[in-house]
Chains A and B, each alone.
Chain A
Amino acid sequence: MIELDGLTKHYGDKVAVDHLTFTVRPGLVTGFLGPNGAGKSTTMRMMLDLDNPTAGSVRIDGEHYRRLTDPLRSVGALLDAKAVHGGRSAYHHLLCLAQSNGLPRRRVGEVLDTVGLTPVARKRSKGFSLGMGQRLGIAAALLGDPRVLLFDEPVNGLDPEGIHWIRNLMKNLAAQGRTVFVSSHLMSEMALTADHLVVIGRGRLLADTSMAEFIRGNSRSYVRLRSPEAERLRDVLHAERIAATEAADGTLEVDGVPSERLGELAARHGLVLHELSPQQASLEEAFMQLTAESVEYHAHDGEPVGGGPAEPVPPGVAAGPGGWGGDWRKKGS
């Protein structure tokens, strides 16, 4: 379990992380989403005590990171930038980390096997491809068999097979009851892996919700209708008590009615249709909308922005599943 309490980081005037309060629970893969520069990597570095928070704190299973005995046994992390000396072999890189935490030498061989780097274990990591470097980072994270795992953009540079592998790895780790916290800026990637979502924008918490809830609330499906007899089509729908909204390009969008029924209805009334197509708004769009709103929120300063299933929760109250943004309002203001 990872608990963030009012975590804040300023770099000079720049606020990289702004009063983040949320909890990452064990047994789940928690996706950490945000556009470039949202503060994901900074938050993860503070979790590892690499960067000092300006305010607030992080606790790992109730302890501050610095107080952990042999931290690699508790927390394993893959950071965004390569954190490896390229002149050292993969084996020695892992060995020196293992020794610093009193881990047995055999763990090095085991994790090299797990990530599939055994054949190049004695090669200097300078020559590794992007994906191999990523695997070495993952091996280091797994070294101490930790209960908490942090992955900053783990699929970066991996091939499709590698992506598939890391997805399964994360799910398995969570299924074993571990806490898995993984960052990404791809909603589509998270939809396949994460059970829970934490979304930030400009350092602020925008959403803390279960994946299922996010999909339910955001993957709107509707049917698009286009007809040269738009007026008559509208009347027919109205008579059937079917609500339709007119889109900008003159097409009609109908929510919650199967396309079969709409087609039969048009046939019965002898209506000519040029288009009858079921549509699905992508999660990516929903995510973009959500983070775009965070920018708007800043611009209007203080006015919670409507739209979407946003329902502001008072500060300090952890948003339950489906509740958006535990921390819309600035604390202490």
Chain B
Amino acid sequence: MAAVGQVLRSEWTKIRSVRSTVWTLGIAVVVTVGLGMLICALAANDFRTMPARDRLTFDATNVSFAGMGLGQLAMIVFGVLVVSNEYSTGMIRSSLAAVPQRGTFLFCKLAVATALVFLVGLATSFVAFFAGQAMLGDHRAYLGDPGVLRAVFGGGLYMTMIALFSMAVATMLRSPMLSLGILMPFFFLVSNILGNVSATRKIGRYLPDQAGQRVMQVIPRAADVPYGPWGGFGIMAAWTAAALVCGYVLLKRRDA
């Protein structure tokens, strides 16, 4: 049996020695924080002209995460590349020859990538919150307000889970183009459409991203959502777990 510690160290070397890691994670941070600040500044400006109802449900915390919709795409790219690069380059043969226990190999790769994404995601979430609140001026929320700390922490968790879900999908599909070609349009378009068209909204809110985003809202966006913040995140985690099981089973059975 390959020792888990050795394989973790090896996977960390792999992650830190390719440029795509810095690029994708860097873009995720910059886009999430930058776009969040911009939208907060715009919201602060518009606040006076908003209808009263909107003012009451104004979620200052969540507005500072407005950049995450776009920033998550970079997280998806990171998650997909971490796994599928092994296949597209042929590195998988070297990797599995060195660590023939495929479960150990996959677990260690995902553990290292997920830990890194969690740190980056959490930092992004906190920076996006403070930078965004600074833009909001009088309408800002504070970390001590009810539900706010959970939402900010949840922002980091959401980004981590979206990356892990992408890794699991890439483990199943192997090809980077195929994985990105499915995940990007899905999370950027399909999910939003399903979630906003009234006919499909009831289904849409059980999709991984729609459900997972509940954890970073202090005030629920829709009043009739049948799950709480952690319930929503749990739904997202269940999707990820299912994808991971499929990916693992396929990896075990397939020729490398």
Contact = CB atoms under 8 A, between A and B. Distances in A.
Chain B's interface: helix, strand, loop or mixed, by majority? helix
Interface in A140-183: 140
B25 to A, nearest CB: 15
Contacts of B101: 66
Contacts of B18: 85, 87-88
Among A85, A86, A102, find the residue whose CB has the most chain B CB atoms closer than 10 A.
A85
A95 B13 contact: yes
Contact of A71 (B17, B100, B255): B100
A99 B6 contact: yes
A77 interface: yes
A282 to B, nearest CB: 35
B90 to A, nearest CB: 5
B14 A96 contact: yes
Contacts of A92: 13-14, 17
A88 B89 CA distance: 11
A79 interface: yes
B100 A101 contact: no
B100 A68 contact: yes
Contacts of A72: 97-98
B91 interface: yes
Interface in B78-121: 85-86, 89-101
B17 A81 contact: no
B100 A65 contact: yes
A329 interface: no
Interface in A77-130: 77, 79, 81-89, 92-93, 95-97, 99-102
A84 B14 CA distance: 11
Given A71-B98, A85-B89, A51 B256 contact: yes
Given A66-B100, A97-B94, A87 B10 contact: no
Chain A's interface: helix, strand, loop or mixed, by majority? loop
Contacts of A96: 10-11, 13-14, 17
B256 A84 contact: no
A333 interface: no
A105 B4 CA distance: 18
B19 interface: yes
B9 interface: yes
Nearest to B17: A92
A197 interface: no
Interface in A268-305: none
Contacts of A82: 89-90
A101 B6 contact: yes
A227 B91 CA distance: 63
B20 interface: yes
A70 B256 CA distance: 19
Contacts of A102: 3, 6
A288 to B, nearest CB: 31
A217 B253 CA distance: 44
Nearest to A48: B97
Contacts of A69: 1-2
Contact of B2 (A45, A84, A95, A100): A100
A100 B99 CA distance: 7
B249 to A, nearest CB: 14
Nearest to B99: A100
A251 interface: no
A285 B100 CA distance: 40
Contacts of B20: 87
Interface in B18-55: 18-20
Given A72-B98, A81-B90, A51 B255 contact: yes
A71 B14 CA distance: 19
A207 B53 CA distance: 86
12 contacts: A50-B93, A68-B100, A69-B2, A70-B2, A70-B6, A75-B97, A79-B93, A83-B89, A92-B13, A96-B17, A99-B10, A101-B98
Given A49-B96, A83-B89, A89-B17, 13 more contacts: A45-B93, A51-B256, A83-B91, A83-B93, A84-B90, A85-B18, A92-B13, A92-B17, A97-B94, A99-B9, A99-B13, A100-B99, A102-B3
Interface of A: 45, 48-52, 65-66, 68-72, 75, 77, 79, 81-89, 92-93, 95-97, 99-102, 140
- Shortest Cβ-Cβ A-B pairs, 4 listed: A92-B17, A100-B10, A99-B10, A83-B93
